[in-house]
């Protein structure tokens, strides 16, 4: 459409120039160029209106693109808010319900992440709301408003009057030629005067409409430029504020996570240092456990009963698997934290700290030991 309009404008300008040449031949210079529609001032007015028409139309298309882009961003952002909120809720649920026996570090981190994610999604909601109310809605109101259409209607009326005036100029020129050829007959003179009067009215209307249309189009163009620029600045400022706030939230979250990780790693390093050494090996010649016992660590009989307070899973053939609540006959305790005993007909090594000594035990429990 733009190419067609430009081509039509060029054709009209060419026709106007040809009409000027024809009119000069018809009128022979009578009345001068002031009698012609396409004088210099009128051409400038016409060109100005053409530029304003193109400028306002391009700005309107740009405004529509902005509205479509913002609306698409809002739709996508709303879906992201839903996903982020679900992730926040899942993290919160894990943090509150986790019962890990290896500490609560991950639970704390999950709760912190849940809180930060919820804050981020809240900031995103605020951004989307602002983009809708302060960017999309004002621009959409101008796109569908009547100011531009009213100005265009004035420009179109001016264009129609201009075309009528151009046609009337040719009619006046023909009648002037006919009057000269027929020796000024009264009928031809009256028709010429009527044609000239009509031409004068058309030129007056054209000048008035041209000024009104140019003023209206210029006002719309200025409003388009100001409003679009203001809304773009508002959009950039809103996004800048959003990203700054998100960065603050993430910086704080990262600090909390790193602190928890340091504590977690320090705890596990200390735990690794306190891990019991491997159980003693059997003496191959005597088929006994080669180790030394604590002095006074067993009673006079050398044995005592212990109740398992922490379950233990054997990791080698010389170790004994224990379940919480089991009773074990402790026969030997080493100085490196291991004990040797028997439970449910099986013998082996186990961490001594996993059992507690019992002075009195039900007979049924003693039977389970053997």
Residue in 335, 303, 331, 328 with CA at minimum distance from that of residue 314: 328
Tokens of 340: 């040797």
Alpha-carbon distance of 297 to 303, in angstroms, equals 9
pLDDT at 82: 96
Rounded-to-integer distance, Cα 72 and Cα 58, Å: 21
Residue 88 CA neighbour count, 13 Å, CB half? 16
Q: Does residue 183 contact residue 74 with C-beta atoms inside 8 Å? A: no
Question: What domains, with CATH codes, occur in the chain?
Answer: 31-268 (1.20.1270.60), 304-357 (2.30.30.40)
Q: How far, in Å, CA of 123 to CA of 66, rounded?
A: 22
> pTM surpassing 0.85?
no
Name 332's bridge partners: 340
Q: How far apart are CA 194 and CA 255, in angstroms?
A: 91
Collect all residues with Cβ–Cβ distance below 8 Å to 185 and sequence separation of at least 6.
179
Contact 37, 206 (CB under 8 A): yes
- pLDDT number for residue 114: 96
250-271 pLDDT, tens digit per residue, is 999 999 999 988 887 776 555 5
d(CA 8, CA 13): 9
Tell me if 316 sits within 8 A of 349, measured CB to CB.
no
CB 334 within 8 A of CB 294: yes
Residue 99: per-residue pLDDT: 75
Q: Check if the beta carbon of residue 135 is closer than 8 Å to that of residue 63.
A: no
Scanning the structure block, which residue is given the tokens 């959409």?
Answer: 140
Average pLDDT by stretches of 10, the chain with 370 residues? 64 56 42 48 84 92 96 96 96 88 84 96 96 95 90 88 88 82 73 87 87 90 95 96 96 92 72 57 44 40 82 88 91 88 90 86 55
Q: Please write the tens of the pLDDT for every residue from 110-147.
A: 999 999 999 999 999 999 999 999 999 999 999 998 88
């Amino acid at each position: 459409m733009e190419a067609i309009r430009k081509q039509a404008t060029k054709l009209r300008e060419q026709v106007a120039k040809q009409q000027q040449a024809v009119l000069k031949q018809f009128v022979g210079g009578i009345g001068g160029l002031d009698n012609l529609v396409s004088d210099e001032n009128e051409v400038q007015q016409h060109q100005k209106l053409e530029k304003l028409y193109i400028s306002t139309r391009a700005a309107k298309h740009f405004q529509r693109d902005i509205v479509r882009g913002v609306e698409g961003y809002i739709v996508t952002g709303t879906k992201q808010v839903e996903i982020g909120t679900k992730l926040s809720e899942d993290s919160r649920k894990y943090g509150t319900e986790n019962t890990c026996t290896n500490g609560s570090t991950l639970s704390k981190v999950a709760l912190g992440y849940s809180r930060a994610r919820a804050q981020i999604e809240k900031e995103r909601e605020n951004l989307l709301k602002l983009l809708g109310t302060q960017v999309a809605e004002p621009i959409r109101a101008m796109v569908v408003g009547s100011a531009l259409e009213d100005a265009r209607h004035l420009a179109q009326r001016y264009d129609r009057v201009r075309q009528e005036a151009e046609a009337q100029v040719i009619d006046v020129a023909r009648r002037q030629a006919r009057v000269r050829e027929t020796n000024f007959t009264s009928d031809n003179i009256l028709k010429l005067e009527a044609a000239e009067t009509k031409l004068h009215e058309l030129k007056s209307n054209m000048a008035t409409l041209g000024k009104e249309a140019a003023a209206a189009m210029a006002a719309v163009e200025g409003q388009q430029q100001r409003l679009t620029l203001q809304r773009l600045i508002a959009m950039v400022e809103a996004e800048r504020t959003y990203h700054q706030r998100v960065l603050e939230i993430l910086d704080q979250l990262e600090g909390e996570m790193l602190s928890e990780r340091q504590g977690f790693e320090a705890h596990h390093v200390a735990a690794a240092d306190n891990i019991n050494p491997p159980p003693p090996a059997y003496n191959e010649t005597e088929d006994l456990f080669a180790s030394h016992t604590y002095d006074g660590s067993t009673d006079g009989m050398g044995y005592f009963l212990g109740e398992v307070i922490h379950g233990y899973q054997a990791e080698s053939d010389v170790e004994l698997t224990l379940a919480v609540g089991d009773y074990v006959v402790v026969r030997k305790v080493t100085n490196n934290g291991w004990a040797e005993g028997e439970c449910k007909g099986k013998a082996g090594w186990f961490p001594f700290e996993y059992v507690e000594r019992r002075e009195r035990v039900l007979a049924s429990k003693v039977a389970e030991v053997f």
